[in-house]
Amino acid sequence: MRYIVNSREMKQYDANTTEHFGVPQEVLMERAATAFVQEIRKREIDTAKTLVVCGSGNNGGDGYAIARLLMFAGDAVDVVAALPKAKATEGNLLQQKIYKAYGGQIHTKIPERTEYTAVVDAIFGVGLSRGIEGEPAALLAQMNEMPGIKLAVDIPSGISSDNGNVLGTAFKADLTVTFAYEKLGSLLWPGNTYAGEVILSDVGINDRSFLERGPAVAALEKSDLSCLAARESHSNKGTFGKLLVIAGSQGMAGAAYLCAKAAYISGCGLVRIFTPEENREIVQTMLPEAVLTTYSTKKPDAALFAETVGWADAIVCGPGLGTTETAEWVVRHVLKCASVPVLFDADALNVIARDVSILLRPHTELVVTPHLGEMSRLSGDPVAYIQNHLIEVAKEFARQYNVICVLKDEHTVTGVPYSQTWLNLSGCAGLATAGSGDVLSGVIGGLMAQGMAAETAATVGVYLHGLAGEAAAKENGLRSMIASDIHAGLRSVYRTLEQ
């Protein structure tokens, strides 16, 4: 597991390291500067003629120390104070003093007619919360237009550390060296498009600096997949759970297939598909392994439906279901009858959006997996707002309706009521294809059916789905990937884990 921090958390852990453990701020600055220079040296970046632009805070202090180290190495360095009239922090003033004592000069504007091999941004850092305008904005624009590789210290200036929003304007980095913990703003869109490659470097701030309050957001790593227990040799299909997939409508049988097959590949022992009679031949042909129960689209048989729901260890409801009166009847009856974990996706969410309060009625674990448009219908917030506040929206919806909210985007957020929030960092652009969400629902549903807690299944399922997408992209390419390729990618991921 890797922690990802916002600006408030990073400031607190920095302060805890200094005030509680007694590590001087000057030591942390020296470590940051040394780490930054070491990382760019590893990549053989040309720093023969470097511009370092420093702000008045500790990020600027890091910049002055970086300039000094580059100067010691024989590089030609120009340093510019971006905010010459602003009150500098003590650490910043000390680094300025040291830099000048070694013969360094500090300019108030970028020297004219100078071409640099590298441009280093050390202006604002993680603490920025206001929009950049006026002279600082013009300075950033000038830096972005200059030739040479662009390097950011901790986070590109102008990017919110909390949500990745561009605060007026921002530095466009090719490489960002960040310290101690990754920052949300460098990972979430659009901040990730400004950060370039992000390198995490140790400066001596570690988990002990949390004291009693750790970061609210974390991401899974491959080592966390140890929760996928080995298959017992003495077992049968019942050992690995029964998943009910309520999916498909006339012309949408593929959604049921994609979901159910993903559940099987994820290790589920038995998958039953509840779908309209019109889909019988298609589904039986495409996935003969599935148990099939069909119903009339005019009016499902209530007794048959109750028996089907009662059979399952977990339920996925919604892929390709439609939003007809029959679909609404199905969704409401799942909420009324189910006593096992339920995942709602796709059309089920569009039905629920008509009266979101129905989510408050059941007495079982619920997972919802909306994309941005579906989340907009559920929450009433504009898509643009949701995209710029992914963490907040997922957490708030999870708490308000006591559900696990898997909010799908480039980096999917899983909000859990009053618990850890998860940001998924696996995956690729190839997953942006029709049916990809149906596969995800099947993976999460299959894990829940095998007995994994809904919170864990949602988080692990999203991570596995992303890894499967990466594997599929290697085999098929990003452009040509389709949802069924993710099935093969998922098999590849599991095979690697077993080996």
pLDDT at 231: 83
pLDDT at 234: 81
Classify 47 as helix, strand or coil: coil
Question: 69 with 132, same domain?
Answer: yes
Question: 210 with 230, same domain?
Answer: no
Compute how many other C-beta atoms are within 10 angstroms of the C-beta atom of residue 293. Answer: 17
Number of domains in the chain: 2
pLDDT at 499: 86
Average pLDDT over residues 284-293: 97
pLDDT band at 299 (very low <50, low <70, confident <90, very high): confident
Question: 168 with 233, same domain?
Answer: no
Q: Give the torsion through C-alpha atoms of 291, 294, 300, 304, to 10 deg.
A: -40
pLDDT band at 232 (very low <50, low <70, confident <90, very high): confident
Provide the CATH number for the domain around residue 27: 3.40.50.10260
Q: Are 101 and 69 in contact (CB under 8 A)?
A: no
Closest CA to 346 of 413, 442, 279, 263: 442
pLDDT at 369: 98
From the centroid of its chain, how far is CA 430? 16
Question: 203 with 307, same domain?
Answer: no
Provide the CATH number for the domain around residue 414: 3.40.1190.20
Structure tokens at 484: 């069924």
273 or 238: whose pLDDT is higher? Answer: 273
Question: 256 with 356, same domain?
Answer: yes
Question: 377 with 488, same domain?
Answer: yes
Question: 48 with 89, same domain?
Answer: yes
Average pLDDT over residues 64-70: 98
Q: Are strands 2-5 and 217-219 parallel, antiparallel or unpaired?
A: antiparallel
The answer to whether residue 229 scores a pLDDT higher than 80 is no
Residues 6+ apart with CB under 8 A from 11: 126, 127
For the purposes of burial, counting CB atoms within 10 Å of the CB of 199, is it exposed (0-12), middle (13-18) or buried (19 or more)? middle
Given 214, 238, 264, the domain boundary residue is 214
Question: 325 with 364, same domain?
Answer: yes
pLDDT at 487: 98
pLDDT at 182: 98
pLDDT at 41: 97
Question: 199 with 263, same domain?
Answer: no
- Domain boundaries, position 426: 222-498
pLDDT band at 230 (very low <50, low <70, confident <90, very high): confident
The answer to whether residue 438 scores a pLDDT higher than 90 is yes
pLDDT at 456: 97
Whole-model pTM: value is: 0.95
Given 185, 214, 243, the domain boundary residue is 214
Rounded CA-CA distance 56/83 in Å is 6
pLDDT at 363: 82
Closest CA to 316 of 324, 308, 325: 308
Question: 261 with 203, same domain?
Answer: no
Closest CA to 79 of 67, 70, 95: 67
From the centroid of its chain, how far is CA 433? 18
Average pLDDT over residues 167-180: 98
pLDDT band at 35 (very low <50, low <70, confident <90, very high): very high
**pLDDT tens profile 192-213:** 999 999 999 999 999 999 998 9
pLDDT at 300: 87
Question: 92 with 34, same domain?
Answer: yes
Rounded CA-CA distance 439/485 in Å is 10
Residue 152 half-sphere exposure toward CB, CA atoms < 13 A: 31
pLDDT at 272: 98
pLDDT at 373: 98
Question: 235 with 346, same domain?
Answer: yes
Rounded CA-CA distance 492/486 in Å is 10
**Interaxial angle between packed helices 253-265 and 436-449, expressed in degrees from 0 to 180 and rounded to the nearest 10:** 40
Rounded CA-CA distance 259/314 in Å is 13
Given 214, 246, 271, the domain boundary residue is 214
Average pLDDT over residues 442-466: 98
pLDDT at 163: 95
Rounded CA-CA distance 50/46 in Å is 9
Q: Are strands 106-107 and 118-122 parallel, antiparallel or unpaired?
A: unpaired
The answer to whether residue 367 scores a pLDDT higher than 90 is yes
